[in-house]
Chains A and B, each alone.
Chain A
Amino acid sequence: MTKPVNTVVIVGGGTAGWLTAGLLAAEYQANRESGLKVILIESPDIGPIGVGEGTWPTMRLSLEKLGISETDFIRECGASFKQGTRFAGWLHGQDEFYYHPFTPPLSFNQINLARYWQPLRDRVSFADAVSPQSQACEQNLAPKQIATPEFASNLNYGYHLDAGKFSKFLETHCVEKLGVTHILDNVVAVNATEDGDIESLGTQSGATIQGDLFVDCTGFAALLIGEHYGIPFCSKQNILFNDRALAVQVPRTTQDEPIASATLSTGQRAGWIWDIALPSRRGVGYTYSSAHTSDEKAEADLRNYLSGSVGASLAESCAPRQIKFDPGHRETLWHRNCVAIGLSAGFVEPLEASALVMIELSAKMLSEQLPADRSVMDIVARRFNDKFLYHWHRVIEFLKLHYALSKRRDTDFWRDNCSPTSIPADLLESLELWRYQCPWHQDLPHVDELFSSASYQYVLYGMNYKTEGPGIIRRSDKSNMVTADGLFSDNNKRRKQLLNALPTNRELIGKVHEFGFQKV
């Protein structure tokens, strides 16, 4: 029996809901009579949590697919450019820092520069040796010039953005341009068919909303996947301890304060503090482990961090908002005709900004693989589950890597994090191997890994991980060493050029507001 998929109903109107709605509507031409019907129902009473404020470079593609102009996006979402993350105090808890930039090491597909950087490790940091981006970030430079076309780059970049403004911006675009039907109402009933599919949703105002596929974007509430279907949640707190966050918005004290081009992540006694720079404010938050500190102590640590940049009195006046979460994900993400995207699917601490990119990837696969008919939906669902459970597995492993390499032993938080019992076996095994060889393409076998081996290299060598000398000299070493020397000096040249040519983040954002980017 066939039952075509003609209507997709998305429940929840945060960033997850609107991104999913938009990507589906754009691809399946919801604004045409013959297109897919995309309905987004959103509670008028529950606002979005608004935690995702850092994106990956993938967001540029997502925005382009949605038909959004980069200029409009930057102007209306209070956005700035993000080129990676600067980790401070993760290794020793002092002033030391390293970068995980978005640009992979030079010629990463041709040569594993990490192997040839090892003898230079005391003279130059890994990121500085293989990419110009870390130094561009140190100087708060933008990843491009005003004459660079929209979405094009001189250095790879994503964004920092105001999550509240972003979901409003997406809402307007989805409704006005892409033909998404927007319903403001509370879902009060989930009506099932005999075989257990969701047939329709009943709303507070008495409406019944029919659909062929339902997307759960209801955040931590997980109305469909959790409450209705009872899909169990896999907690990963035994690996990633952080289960709380205190978030504040810090206004800019002056108009010309530099805007950092990287997310700043600073290790604390029982977690770490994120610091995200927007043109008009900073978003700062402490994510910590409730097993290792109290809320009061965490708040005091956050204020202490803030007072370093804005002074004690402003730091005292901030009112942090607390978010509690269980780190982990659903056992199944797509069940029958319901798929969870966003916080309903899972959430871990915002280290490496995995939240928005997981939404983008989920929406992208949903859009590329949208089953034409109910009869083939289970096949797509199985593949979707395989892929995203793998992604979750890898996210958790990669986040743990940041902790596992620390030399901090000042608190139980860091001691427990470095205890082998809290480190996944796969990661322990890889770390063993990487003592003798530098990770490269073979170490992460999938074509669409969330974190490539380049990311592993930046974290490993940023955290001063020692990969032993070359061992037996390989036949390829001789020519590779010449190539590597050339690339290291190319990188020096390119860095000099870029540092001269790139405006600061603040200058460029000012110009985007004044002149805008050209499309070509």
Chain B
Amino acid sequence: MANYVMLNNVEHQNVKVITERSARYGDDVHFVMTFPIEFRRVQSFYPIFFQKDASTGKFYPIALFGFEAEENLFLKENGWDSNYVPLMIRRHPFLIGLQNAPEEADANRSVVSIDMGSPRVNETEGEALFLPHGGTSEYLASMIEVLEDIKVGHEMNAKFIDALLEFDLIESVSMEIELNNGSKRQLLGLYTINEERLEQLDSEALGKLHSRQFLLPVYMILASMSSFRTLIDKRNEQLADL
């Protein structure tokens, strides 16, 4: 059970975090949310799609790791098998949120929480969060950077999606795959950039997207489609090994 509490250097002085990538620690997911700030690195390994949040219907971009629940084709015996691990995988067991105390002046200050229920969290193994005299460890400092990126990423996603919808650039896509063993599968609920619409945009519309720094991410998504083939190849390799 997840149990998030606000992080502090008194209560969590001795806490350590296991950073190994493994299904044991919940890394066996077939996608995570991703953000324009990491698209360039994400697209060279993972296909980027959009998906809808089931409770709001809102779109958000995802990096795809597999074709069904719990299938992460990048997760190997010895860890994560690629040179870039997306932010939303790296963030665990931390979370960033807004200070929930509206009466205080810095109500919008972001706060870091830690999931004390995570199997990564213990007092004997892994990276320490705090230095013996209470200072922040290098590990924790790097995690705070990840969380800050995620926070900025969330805000950017909302604006990015709004801009794409404004120009009708999101379309539903049905990805059908056939594996070497002859099995077929259809991936539902995925959306991508409508290339035809993109090509029809006039220079004014393109200029608008560009000035808001959304044009490059759009092309990164299109470029990421070549990673879809890589994903199929990985699944086929896995089948061949069985």
Contact = CB atoms under 8 A, between A and B. Distances in A.
B168 A519 contact: yes
A104 B58 CA distance: 31
A147 B52 CA distance: 6
Interface in A276-313: none
Interface string B42-55: 00000000001111
Nearest to B54: A147
A449 B160 CA distance: 46
22 contacts: A145-B54, A145-B57, A146-B54, A146-B55, A146-B56, A146-B57, A147-B52, A147-B54, A147-B57, A148-B57, A511-B55, A515-B56, A515-B57, A515-B58, A516-B57, A518-B52, A518-B59, A518-B165, A519-B165, A519-B168, A520-B170, A520-B191
**Which range holds the interface residue count of chain A?**
10 to 19
Contacts of A81: none
Nearest to A150: B57
Q: Which of B56, B57, B59 gathers most chain A CB within 10 Å? A: B57
A511 B56 contact: yes
**Which range holds the interface residue count of chain B?**
10 to 19
Interface string A503-520: 000000001001111111
Nearest to A516: B57
Contacts of B58: 515, 518
B57 A517 contact: yes
B172 interface: yes
10 nearest CB pairs, A to B: A146-B57, A147-B52, A147-B57, A515-B56, A520-B172, A147-B54, A518-B57, A515-B57, A520-B170, A520-B171
A503 to B, nearest CB: 9
Given A519-B165, A520-B172, A511 B57 contact: yes
Given A511-B57, A515-B58, A520-B172, 8 more contacts: A146-B56, A147-B54, A148-B57, A511-B55, A511-B56, A518-B57, A518-B59, A520-B191
Interface of B: 52-59, 165, 168, 170-172, 191
Contacts of A148: 57
B168 to A, nearest CB: 7
Q: Which of A511, A515, A516, A520 gathers most chain B CB within 10 Å? A: A520
Contacts of B53: 147
Contacts of A149: 172
A149 B165 CA distance: 13
Contacts of B52: 147, 518
Contacts of B171: 520
A167 to B, nearest CB: 29
Contacts of A518: 52, 57-59, 165
Contacts of A514: 56
Contacts of A519: 165, 168
A514 B168 CA distance: 21
Interface in A352-374: none
Q: Which of A145, A148, A514, A518 gathers most chain B CB within 10 Å? A: A518
Contacts of A516: 57
Nearest to B53: A147
A15 B165 CA distance: 31
B41 to A, nearest CB: 28
Contacts of A511: 55-57
Contacts of B170: 520
Contacts of B172: 149, 520
Nearest to B161: A518
B9 to A, nearest CB: 38
Contacts of B55: 146, 511
Contacts of A146: 54-57
A517 B165 CA distance: 12
Nearest to A501: B54
B181 to A, nearest CB: 28
